[in-house]
A = this chain, B = another copy of it.
Amino acid sequence: MATSREIHLAARPHGVPQPTDFALVEVEVPEPADGEVLIRNAYMSVDPSMRPRMNDVKSYLPPFQVGEAMSGGAVGQVVASRNDRVPVGSWVVNWLGWREFALSDGRGLMPVDPAIAPISTALGVLGMPGLTAWVGLLDIGRPEPGETVYVSGAAGAVGSLAGQIAKLKGCRVIGSAGSPEKVAWLQELGFDETFDYRQTDAREALRDGIDLYFDNVGGEALEVALSALRTHGRVVACGAISQYNATERPPGPRNMSYIVTKRLRIEGFIVIDHFDKFPAFLAEVGPWVRDGKVAYRETVVDGLERAPEALLGLLSGENIGKMLVKIGPDA
């Protein structure tokens, strides 16, 4: 009998997750019932938001349950189908998480055309991280040509696209990241200014002022950005990767009074509220990727059993671009 491996949440971590917080579990590959399909996953997505979901805290997504598979995005091929709308051989994004084989009733599956771009991009630049960057920058941040946009976590899946879109929209773009290799990549991408936040004082790097801060990291970086923002500046609050392993809540910025005096807007968003914009996103960003106007990178960890390691690596900044785990054959 065929078996499928899954990664389950074994215990809720305190601070940095430990290997014992995860369990590798073998299960029987299920047979699709009427209306169902069986998917063999090729890649699964490793996202910063997975870390807060390991805590028992209600948020915009429900917490993972101890003893169940970690859930999240994955892309795979349908290997058995009793659903006419999803034939065998088709590639789909599913949200069934960290498992080699996934059984779906067809709901929530998104078709992927492997002729457009490698299927892995459906989890990255042409998937949720891409939509996050596009919606966050354009709908929430609303940059004007000529404005200066600062992106933190700029070498990540979201940040690298947000910065490139800002460039395509006529902005001056400053990006920060946490290693010389990441910074070198930002320079390749055409960022106007780049800095390694572990080496350079952000206050100094932003001394000429910014109009928009695309915040992927949370924590102290916001205080520096509030000081650097010009009148009518905006903060797109996208994520807080610097905080997800924290065991204490960080103090907030001591310069919140700038919000009034500089008429700032700080606005948070969650990509799941904006799924309806996915077709418009693909229509704009798809051609950019196809024509090489937007570049992307992926950091691929091989083997389902290494998924916990990939998540820890993501949280400590080891990835460049999208962090993926390869768990099966791709197109």
Contact = CB atoms under 8 A, between A and B. Distances in A.
B249 A255 contact: yes
Interface residues of A, number: 34
A216 B269 CA distance: 25
Interface stretch (A119-127, A260-268, A316-324): A260-268
Copies of this chain: 2
A313 B218 CA distance: 39
A60 B261 contact: yes
Contact of A257 (B240, B253, B263, B273): B240
A197 to B, nearest CB: 18
Interface in A154-212: none
Nearest to A52: B261
Contacts of A223: 252
A228 interface: no
A237 B259 contact: yes
Interface of A: 59-60, 218, 222-223, 231, 237-240, 243, 249-270, 273
30 contacts: A59-B261, A60-B231, A218-B260, A222-B256, A237-B256, A237-B259, A238-B260, A239-B260, A240-B260, A249-B254, A250-B254, A252-B252, A252-B256, A253-B256, A258-B268, A259-B268, A260-B268, A260-B269, A262-B268, A263-B267, A263-B269, A263-B270, A263-B273, A264-B266, A264-B267, A265-B266, A265-B267, A265-B268, A266-B267, A267-B267
Enumerate the 5 nearest inter-chain pairs by beta-carbon distance, A residue then B residue, closest first.
A252-B252, A259-B268, A260-B268, A252-B253, A249-B254
